[in-house]
Homo-oligomer: A and B are copies of this chain.
Amino acid sequence: MKYNLVEFDNNKPVYIQIMEMIKKQIINGDTSLGERLPSVRDLAGILEVNANTIQRAYKELEREEITLTKRGMGSFVTSNLEVINILKKQMADSVVDSFIKDMEDMGFEIEDIISILKERG
């Protein structure tokens, strides 16, 4: 688990950006199954946002059943591996889909995209 101050994109709700950040950490393994998330106040301090914003992100994550909250103990990542695998697949798919759409909208074909990515490698 590692969270650092980042710059938020002003054109997207901050709580959404925080949710994405946490999901990514779960997906890449920086945050483990069953691990306790930082307390609302701690994460608010680290990210320099209001505690309510973290609350909202945590609440949404719980609604998506990615985390669960134990009263008085904090928020924990689900231990259900199946849920995490689905999350992983869905999130990667969605990122890839919207990337391909953006690039195609700009007139690039799949082959162009692959060439560009190879140059970056």
Contacts and interface: CB of A to CB of B under 8 A. Distances in A.
Contacts of A110: 117, 120-121
Contacts of A11: 12-13, 16
A3 interface: no
B103 A92 contact: yes
B106 A120 contact: no
Contacts of A120: 96, 100, 110
Nearest to A63: B63
Interface residues of A, number: 32
Identical chains bound together, number: 4
Nearest to A50: B72
Contact of A28 (B105, B117, B121): B105
Contacts of A113: 117
Given A113-B117, A114-B114, A114-B121, A106 B13 contact: no
12 contacts: A11-B12, A24-B102, A27-B107, A28-B107, A29-B107, A96-B117, A100-B120, A110-B121, A114-B114, A114-B117, A114-B118, A117-B117
